[in-house]
Amino acid sequence: MNLRYNPQERRFEAEFSDFQADLDAVKTAGFKTTGAPYWVWWTDKLKVLNKLRERPPAILTITPEALAVYKPLAEQDRKNAEIKKLAAEAQKTVKKASRGCSWLPAGKDYLETSDLPPMPPFEKSFQPPPPPDVLCSSCQQPVYFYELQGVFPLCLWCEKNFENKA
């Protein structure tokens, strides 16, 4: 297999020498294909090229142009890996140093109700309206607007009871 760099597409492309072995190698590494009719196997990711380097086919060559593009990318990837490693270590040390939170009471790992200030007493702001002046002719309870207010006003209870008796 030969690897070449396509500057127009900005990608690495694989040229097969032993079709089946090379095809298995590029599929395992994670190359993509353009599909029919040309079936160009390509990648633009350094991670995929490194997988191919780890498990190469029987014959693996790379053109000088592709090597010239690969080397700076590999160097940048190595630097990025070092920086990520340092950042992960720094995060671990910060996490260890700040095990407790600034809003938790000293010496506690969790917040309890005893740590909170007392709640102010609940004050009812709703005042129900005064009952109506009209009273039921039977039980002397207030008769509201939705109840029967005829010549003899009746509350719902009395109205229902009088219907059952009649």
Position 110 scores a pLDDT of 84
Contact 154, 147 (CB under 8 A): yes
- State which amino acid sits at residue 24: D
Position 166 scores a pLDDT of 56
Contact 147, 159 (CB under 8 A): yes
Position 64 scores a pLDDT of 96
pTM: 0.55
Structure tokens at 24: 């298995």
Structure tokens at 72: 């700076």
Say how far apart CA 154 and CA 146 lie, in whole Å: 11
Longest Cα separation, the chain:
109
CA-based end-to-end distance of the chain: 103
